[in-house]
Amino acid sequence: MYTVKNLSAASIEIKNSKFHSFLVSYNEIEKKLEELKNIHKKANHFVTAFRYLNKSNQIIEHSNDDKEPRGSAGRPTLKVLQGYDLINVGVITIRYFGGILLGVGNLARAYSDVAKNAVLNAKIIEYKDIFEYTFEVDYDKIKKIEYLIKKFNIFVIERGFGTEGIEYIIRDDIEKINLIKENL
């Protein structure tokens, strides 16, 4: 499975209809949708699709046609995410109607093409499960741990001073957490 490192976008125009697609992290989809609705007040449709892993490691998927003919917008967008094996991501596609009816087939093709272009424009990375780990380091080992945190870009949630040393809470993939464990 794969995910995206940052936002990407793509646009196409078909028979005067403009399609703008945004590929975002699943955690950002609601915020981004609200932002886009405020920016693109004259857009006719805001189609969404997303895939994410829940706490039980099950893939949850959903799509929304936003008043387009049923199955012509959200589903083709979701199929792009499935086809690229993307997880913890969402796509928002904005459509400005150009005055010419496209038909269900052309709509489905347009929505999937613009979503595919957004994926191709993205920085795709391999998905890794993220874990949280809490540990305490004696003061004499702090330099070594700080060096590893910096070198391997480990995400530190919190550092706190204790009586024996510093307590850390980190969040990262299992390989990085095991690296820290080996050096304690």
pLDDT digits (tens, 9 = 90+) for 83-120: 999 999 999 999 999 999 999 999 999 999 999 999 99
Looking at residue 11, what is its pLDDT? Answer: 98
pLDDT digits (tens, 9 = 90+) for 29-48: 999 999 999 999 999 999 99
d(CA 67, CA 47): 9
Same domain, 120 and 155: no
Residue 76 sits in a domain of what CATH number? 3.30.230.30
Residue 146 sits in a domain of what CATH number? 3.30.70.240
Same domain, 71 and 117: yes
Q: Beta 45-53 vs 124-126: how paired, if at all?
A: unpaired
pLDDT for residue 52 is more than 90: yes
Same domain, 61 and 139: no
Same domain, 151 and 99: no
d(CA 52, CA 47): 17
d(CA 91, CA 105): 20
Same domain, 90 and 73: yes
Domain count, the chain: 2
pLDDT for residue 129 is more than 90: no
Same domain, 121 and 50: yes
Same domain, 175 and 138: yes
The helix (run of H) or strand (run of E) holding residue 61 is strand 59-64
Looking at residue 78, what is its pLDDT? Answer: 98
The model's confidence at residue 155, banded by pLDDT at 50, 70 and 90, is confident
User: Does residue 158 sit in helix, strand or coil?
Assistant: strand
Global pTM? 0.76
pLDDT digits (tens, 9 = 90+) for 6-28: 899 999 999 999 999 999 999 89
pLDDT for residue 168 is more than 90: yes
Same domain, 103 and 142: no
Which residue segment(s) compose the domain that 25 sits in?
Answer: 2-126
Looking at residue 157, what is its pLDDT? Answer: 87
Domain end marker among 126, 151, 167: 126
Same domain, 162 and 102: no
How confident is the model over 158-176, as a mean pLDDT?
Answer: 88
Same domain, 17 and 61: yes
Same domain, 118 and 156: no
